[in-house]
Amino acid sequence: MLHKSQRLTMRVKTTIVYEQLSRARKRIAVMQGGTRSGKTWNILLFFIIKLAYQETGKVFTVCRASLPTIKGTVLRDFIEILLSMGLYSEDRHNKTDQTYELNGNLIEFISADQPQKIRGRKRDYLFINEANELTKESWMQLLFRTSKFVVLDYNPSDEFHWIYDDVLTRDDVEFFISTYRDNPFLSEELVKEIERLELADPEYWKVYGLGERGSSANLIYTHWKPIEALPGRGELIYGVDFGFVKPTAVVGVEIWEGAIYADEIIYQDRLTTPNLADEMLLASVRRSPIMYCDSAEPKTIEELRQYGWNTWESDKSVLEGIKRVKSMPLYITTRSTNMVKEIKNYRWVVDKNGVRQDEPVKNYDHSLDALRYAIFTHLSSPQRTWTAM
Ligand SMILES: Nc1ncnc2c1ncn2[C@@H]1O[C@H](COP(=O)(O)OP(=O)(O)O)[C@@H](O)[C@H]1O
Ligand SMILES: [Mg+2]
């Protein structure tokens, strides 16, 4: 806790998102927005200020679809904000349970893929980060156990969603939209990068630039369904798409009874081959299943092989590969947040006359490429085997 005198001199910079929340009087605030509009940062800031200086004895839950994503995003922002305010103390942070004690309040970070936590303790305040990744069932469970105030944030990439149908229609909801233009803390380069979307991909621009609801027009994969976990009964293979500035994606793929089950394992940029090998070990990626890799990088394929994985070059035929993936039922685990985000944005190129081309927009495709390499190469070529030495 800060002394009163310090409190008076503390200047925390906020954005319009913070002001909207401060003025909100209803039980639920829905913060829809484009990319980097300041949603997550200012929602966290709002609750941190409330709990550090104004209230005590409260429980505040922050929830997202999967635990690994929480650690890399919203929890990281939370710690960064506390640090910048001189409020972070390591001994208040229980890293096993992902809880933090702030001025006699308990703050917990939970993921929707842990049902026992969703059905766990009651709380006063709730923030669901990237709420469109959650199922309606998780939403209902969380709302049911929250007594005071609920905030949701998301990019509206879906054309249809329970948020639009079941949340925005309630009379105890306040709705706000923000865009990158509402966030004065972005660098000029980042702003330019976001504005380039307008020409590169108009649909993406609508959602991530303007914060407006997306449409499913020209989406490539529309047949997929979410699933809690891989069935663990079929044949397991892996697909890998290499990146560096862009993310490297490792996807586990199970083929069972004619259907594809996909699970995002790694999705991270700036990984060297030794870094990638470390991440694969951490994620318990197995050595024996066949691993189909981006054939543009034979050196990396060989390096991973020397680390002991069963790597093979993949067949990268784009259209044939997409056709193959589209020809089978496709289930994606709910923890695969990046893959799900990609698949909701993976579109055919449309020319200036509105005519669809036989070519996907080359973006938001890293985990989907990994998936395609695995499925198409595995199902279209003679089976390869690997023998342990
Ligand atoms: N009040 C603020 N003070 C300082 N930096 C901020 C503030 N609001 C936003 N930012 C910066 O802008 C970035 C993007 O904001 P963020 O909340 O993550 O956007 P969104 O969740 O809408 O995508 C943050 O990572 C942070 O660096
Ligand atoms: Mg955010």
Q: What is the pLDDT along the chain (389 residues), one digit of tens a residue?
A: 555 545 545 689 999 999 999 999 999 999 999 999 999 999 999 999 999 999 999 999 999 998 888 998 999 999 999 999 999 999 999 999 999 999 999 999 999 988 888 888 899 999 999 999 999 999 999 999 999 999 999 999 999 999 999 999 999 999 999 999 999 999 999 999 999 999 888 889 999 999 999 999 899 999 999 998 999 999 999 999 999 999 999 999 999 999 999 999 999 999 999 999 999 999 999 999 999 999 999 999 999 999 999 999 999 999 999 999 999 999 999 999 999 999 999 999 988 888 999 999 988 899 999 999 999 999 986 555 444 44
Expressed in angstroms and rounded, the spacing between residue 85 Cα and the centre of ligand 1 is: 15
pLDDT score of 5: 47
Residue nearest to atom 16 of ligand 1 (CA): 38
Determine whether the shortest distance from the Cβ of 35 to ligand 1 is under 6 A: yes
Distance between the two ends of the chain, CA-based, in angstroms? 60
Instruction: Look up residue 85 and give its two tokens.
Output: 């305010």
Residue nearest to atom 25 of ligand 1 (CA): 41
Pocket test for ligand 1, best of 16, 82, 185 (most atoms within 8 A of CB): 185
Determine whether the shortest distance from the Cβ of 345 to ligand 1 is under 6 A: no
Q: By the 8 A CB rule, do 151 and 31 touch?
A: yes
3-state secondary structure of 347: strand
- Rounded Cα gap, residues 368 and 375, in angstroms: 10
How many C-beta atoms lie closer than 10 Å to residue 201's C-beta? 21
Determine whether the shortest distance from the Cβ of 47 to ligand 1 is under 6 A: no
pLDDT score of 69: 87
pLDDT score of 389: 40
Determine whether the shortest distance from the Cβ of 15 to ligand 1 is under 6 A: yes
Residue nearest to atom 3 of ligand 1 (CA): 13
Which residue in this structure is represented by tokens 């105030």?
Answer: 149
Nearest ligand, CA 17: 1
- Rounded Cα gap, residues 285 and 279, in angstroms: 9
Residue nearest to atom 14 of ligand 1 (CA): 36
- Rounded Cα gap, residues 148 and 63, in angstroms: 16
Nearest ligand, CA 178: 1
Determine whether the shortest distance from the Cβ of 64 to ligand 1 is under 6 A: no
Determine whether the shortest distance from the Cβ of 69 to ligand 1 is under 6 A: no
Expressed in angstroms and rounded, the spacing between residue 39 Cα and the centre of ligand 2 is: 6
Determine whether the shortest distance from the Cβ of 14 to ligand 1 is under 6 A: yes
Expressed in angstroms and rounded, the spacing between residue 146 Cα and the centre of ligand 1 is: 26
Determine whether the shortest distance from the Cβ of 242 to ligand 1 is under 6 A: no
Tell me 157's DSSP state. -
Ion ligand 2 residue ranges (Cβ < 5 Å): 40
Expressed in angstroms and rounded, the spacing between residue 248 Cα and the centre of ligand 2 is: 21
- Rounded Cα gap, residues 29 and 174, in angstroms: 5
Expressed in angstroms and rounded, the spacing between residue 192 Cα and the centre of ligand 1 is: 16
> Which residue from 201, 194, 199 is spatially nearest to 215, judged by alpha carbons?
201
379: buried, middle or exposed (CB in 10 Å: 19+, 13-18, 0-12)? middle
Q: Which long-range contacts (CB under 8 A, 24 or more apart) does 364-368 make?
A: 364/204, 366/241, 366/243, 366/246, 366/247, 366/248, 366/249, 366/267, 366/338, 366/342, 367/241, 367/249, 367/251, 367/264, 367/267, 367/336, 367/338, 367/339, 367/342, 368/221, 368/339, 368/342, 368/343
pLDDT score of 382: 55
Q: Which atom of ligand 1 is nearest to the CA of 35?
A: 23
Q: By the 8 A CB rule, do 232 and 331 touch?
A: no
Determine whether the shortest distance from the Cβ of 36 to ligand 1 is under 6 A: yes
pLDDT score of 388: 45
pLDDT score of 386: 47
Q: Which atom of ligand 1 is nearest to the CA of 77?
A: 25
pLDDT score of 353: 84
Question: What one-character-per-residue DSSP string does 297-345 give?
Answer: -HHHHHHHHHTT--EEE----HHHHHHHHHTS-EEEETT-HHHHHHHTT
